[in-house]
Structure 1
Amino acid sequence: MNRDKFSFKSIPGWVYTLAIFGLLYATGLHTEVLGGAQRLLLATGLKNADVPTQTEPATPATLTATSQPMVGAGFQMTDLDGKLVSFESLKGKVIFLNVWATWCPPCIAEMPNIQSLYEKVGSDKIAFVMLSVDQKSREKVKKFIEKKGFTFPVYMPASGLPEAFNSPAIPSTYIISPAGQIVAQQSGMAEYDTPEVIDFLQKLAK
């Protein structure tokens, strides 16, 4: 009696695909792989961040003229060393706030270009707040950041996330004026290391 010999060629392609994704998921590498693929999409320039084309430089008058409280007033954060930081302590600066998580592939995809932006616009008038909403411990988030070699400031919530920053999608990014108001917002991943974003932040900080 003849028996059909087993052949890998007889296995459907979808089985291989499923096995690969299963292995990546089991090892925790799926986030990195998907993030890398999405990083290639950002490199095409198709997902550049949208910012207003005109800004008015901040002046002492504009800093005090608004009767509205600062967005996120009362919000408390901790840095990766455990130091408590009040979000309101950043008022008077331009704030680049990015809400992210280590398990989020689009977050990982855009972080290198945010690091590049941070290096280019370094200023005591511009504050970066990379806000991790991970349920992981602070030490695990710290190890993730150190492994990637990122140097921008990273924080974790120490109180409830303000409604203004409670987006249904992450990553979400907010640019906040020195007067404490949101002047640009982006839901989903984007390329921030662009001349338009750099110019917008620098003009806003003047």
Structure 2
Amino acid sequence: MAKKTYRRELTEWLILVTVGLTLYFTGLHTEAIGLVQRGLLATGIIQPDKITEERYADYGFYLSNIKGEQVVFEEFEGQTVFLNFWATWCPPCIAEMPDIEDLYQKKGNEVTFVMISMDQSREKAKDFIMRKGYEMPVYFLESSLPKSYDTHSIPTTYVIAPSGKLVVENHGMAKYDTESFRSLLDQLNQSTTSSFPN
């Protein structure tokens, strides 16, 4: 009886190790972990953090879009901006992307989405976006980031009001496609404040 239990446990462990190694060596472990974390996001427990102090966005940096065209972030001044830093090697980034894509499908005509890939391989990021069928705009950094954006951990997300005020700063994954978050974006779009700090 004890021998059967031992063999069964050994077999179970061998299967787990084999699956784990297969996922790791095929590069699918990130997406597998992301899938598990996505289940956690679906509960709605993890919500984005609003900024309480008065802080403003710095528009002084450069990007390139997925086609390789240069974009000055300053072009988005005066708009509501959903700014997200992500990478294909980051399981929490992978976990929250379907939710962000859903939000983009609902609010992409009213809110400017700027999804900045931190991948060293731009081709890997492009392939991932195409394979997943995501339509949200992806960008790459072409200059250093201003100090106002802390991206020591990803995913990191900011929401910038048309006034230039930073409204949301969230480090780590969160569920964005919620009624309350969409309502926040609507409020920002309806605000008539157009003054920018000097």
| TM superposition score normalised by structure 1 | 0.82
Q: What per-residue deviation string (whole Å, max 9, x for no partner) do you get for residues 159-179 of structure 1?
A: 112222232211010001112
State the match for 2:178 in structure 1: 194
- The match for 2:194 is none
Distance 1:163 1:12, change over 3 A: farther
Moved over 3 A (4+): 7-10, 12-16
Sequence identity percentage: 45
Deviations 1:100-145 (A, max 9, x none): 001111001100110111111133x521000101111x33211110
Q: 1:71 to 1:13 in 2, by over 3 A?
A: same
> Paired residues, what number?
185
Letter aligned with residue 75 of structure 2: S
The structure-2 alpha-carbon separation of the partners of 1:94 and 1:14, relative to structure 1 and needing over 3 Å to count, comes to same
Q: Give the number of the structure whose alpha-carbon radius of gyration is greater.
A: 1
Deviations 1:29-85 (A, max 9, x none): 101100100011111111122447xxxxxxxxxxxxx9x9x6233200000000000
Is the 1:95–1:129 Cα contact (8 Å) retained in structure 2?
A: yes
| 1:11 aligned partner, one-letter code | L
How far does residue 22 in structure 1 lie from its aligned partner after superposition? 1.4
Call closer, same or farther: CA 1:85–1:10 in 2, change over 3 Å.
Answer: closer
Q: Give the partner amino acid of 2:128.
A: F
Please give the root-mean-square deviation of Cα atoms over the aligned residues, in Å. Answer: 2.4
Tell me whether 101-110 or 7-16 shows the greater mean CA deviation: 7-16
Q: After superposition, where does 1:101-180 map in structure 2 within 5 Å?
A: 101-123=87-109, 125-136=110-121, 138-180=122-164
Q: Does 1:77 align with 2:43?
A: no
Give ranges in structure 2 of 5+ residues lacking alignment. 191-198
TM-score normalised over the length of structure 2: 0.85
Between the aligned partners of 2:8 and 2:163, the Cα distance in structure 1 is: 65
